[in-house]
Amino acid sequence: MFDLTGKTALVTGGSRGLGRAIALALAGQGADVAVNYRGNAEAADEVAQQITSGGRRAVTIQGDTSAGREACEAIVKEALDGLGSVDILVNNAGITRDNLLMRMDGEEWDAVISTNLSGPFWMTRAIARPMLKARSGRIINMSSAAGRMGNAGQANYAAAKAGLIGLTKTTARELASRGITCNAIAPGLIETDLTADLPEAATEALKALTPLGYVGSVEDVAAAAVYFASDEARYVTGQVLGVDGGIVMGS
Ligand code: NAD
């Protein structure tokens, strides 16, 4: 089940947190992986070393996915040059700049939209051509429960993550006839550096809203990425999978 031997993957923001866990999980199932990172080369190298010590190929690629078309095209080109192909793209890189609506400034809005929404758009644009040529591919977008239900203090983040769901469904429709699927994962509260700074009261409030009652792990999310990347998920496209302890129950 979920054998990714011979597949190649590119994971944005792959040096830590969910991206790191996804890169390692894809490699654990047999994939070769390009690990994109923005600043922390040492952390990216550590992920690549773990992958190569498990017998798979890994390359690290410095690049800022929020920097627009050329930056994203350069990341994709480097992954293609390094691995020969990219069968799986995971648009994972993301940031938060939380503030109440009435206090949110343009910098906070723009930074989150350009990283969490424009980044995946330009990465998808860049990967679409080689995937169309190959007549196969898997695109996996990291959305969030906040994009499905809203979250006070996260107008920018929730808007970007909801927009990413629209991008996911449209990409799925446009590329389906060429054997390319596009799906989104919408995690709830997961223990990473991103959520470590949340005030205790906010974490407790979110836990109280979560039917399963606890904070999820990066492995819970990585398992969903492995599934969407697999041949077994060939008939699944345009879907949003909540890995969220049940905080959102969509129909
Ligand atoms: P994290 O902050 O630990 O890791 C995010 C990674 O993305 C970091 O390595 C960071 O350097 C990288 N990154 C940020 N901006 C980048 C850019 N412009 N270019 C390249 N890399 C960039 O966060 P995480 O918790 O691992 O989150 C990963 C993804 O999952 C994000 O998209 C986040 O919004 C989403 N998410 C996380 C949670 C959670 O509870 N942790 C919940 C829902 C969704």
Convert the pLDDT of each residue in 76-93 to its tens digit.
999 999 999 999 999 999
Identify residue 83 by its one-letter amino acid code. L
Tell me what the pLDDT averaged over the chain comes to.
97
Kindly give the distance from the C-alpha atom of residue 41 to the centroid of ligand 1, in angstroms, as a whole number.
Answer: 16
Q: Where are the alpha helices (DSSP H) in the chain?
A: 17-28, 41-53, 69-83, 106-113, 119-134, 145-149, 155-175, 193-196, 200-209, 218-229
Mean pLDDT of 44-71: 98
Global pTM reads 0.98
Mean pLDDT of 45-70: 98
Q: Is the CB of 220 under 6 A from ligand 1?
A: no
Report percent pLDDT > 70 for the chain.
100
Tokens of 8: 């190649």
Tokens of 223: 């398992």
What's the pLDDT at 9? 99
Question: Which residues, including other chains, have CB under 8 Å from residue 65's CB and lie 6 or more apart?
Answer: 12, 13, 36, 38, 71, 72, 75, 91, 93, 115, 119, 120, 122, 123
What's the pLDDT at 47? 98
Nearest C-alpha to atom 28 of ligand 1 is from which residue? Answer: 18
pLDDT range class, residue 42, cuts 50, 70, 90: very high
Look up residue 55 and give its DSSP letter.
T
Q: Is the CB of 216 under 6 A from ligand 1?
A: no
Nearest C-alpha to atom 23 of ligand 1 is from which residue? Answer: 194
Considering only 22-31, 67-76, 141-150, 193-202, which range has the smallest mean pLDDT? 193-202
- Please tell me the distance from the alpha carbon of residue 214 to that of residue 208, in angstroms, as a whole number: 8
For tokens 């699927």, what's the residue? 181
pLDDT range class, residue 125, cuts 50, 70, 90: very high
Respond yes or no: is residue 235 known to be catalytic: no
pLDDT range class, residue 122, cuts 50, 70, 90: very high
- Please tell me the distance from the alpha carbon of residue 234 to that of residue 203, in angstroms, as a whole number: 36
CB atoms < 10 A from the CB of 199, how many?
8
pLDDT range class, residue 194, cuts 50, 70, 90: confident
- Please tell me the distance from the alpha carbon of residue 142 to that of residue 83, in angstroms, as a whole number: 23
Helix 155-175 with 106-113: angle, nearest 10 deg:
30
Question: Which residues, including other chains, have CB under 8 Å from residue 26's CB and lie 6 or more apart?
Answer: 4, 7, 9, 11, 33, 88, 90, 225, 226, 229
Pocket test for ligand 1, best of 95, 110, 185, 191 (most atoms within 8 A of CB): 95
Kindly give the distance from the C-alpha atom of residue 177 to the centroid of ligand 1, in angstroms, as a whole number.
Answer: 31
pLDDT at 152 over 80: yes
What's the pLDDT at 199? 86
Kindly give the distance from the C-alpha atom of residue 217 to the centroid of ligand 1, in angstroms, as a whole number.
Answer: 14
What's the pLDDT at 75? 99
- Please tell me the distance from the alpha carbon of residue 164 to that of residue 130, in angstroms, as a whole number: 21
Using only C-alpha atoms, the chain has a radius of gyration, in whole angstroms, of 17
pLDDT range class, residue 202, cuts 50, 70, 90: confident
pLDDT range class, residue 113, cuts 50, 70, 90: very high
Identify residue 230 by its one-letter amino acid code. S
Kindly give the distance from the C-alpha atom of residue 92 to the centroid of ligand 1, in angstroms, as a whole number.
Answer: 6
What is the atom index within ligand 1 of the atom nearest the CA of 66? Answer: 18
Tokens of 86: 């990219």
Q: Is the CB of 64 under 6 A from ligand 1?
A: yes
- Please tell me the distance from the alpha carbon of residue 215 to that of residue 196, in angstroms, as a whole number: 11
Check if the beta carbon of residue 49 is closer than 8 Å to that of residue 249.
no
Nearest C-alpha to atom 3 of ligand 1 is from which residue? Answer: 17
Mean pLDDT of 17-32: 98
What's the pLDDT at 251? 74
Q: Is the CB of 12 under 6 A from ligand 1?
A: yes
Nearest C-alpha to atom 31 of ligand 1 is from which residue? Answer: 94
Kindly give the distance from the C-alpha atom of residue 80 to the centroid of ligand 1, in angstroms, as a whole number.
Answer: 23
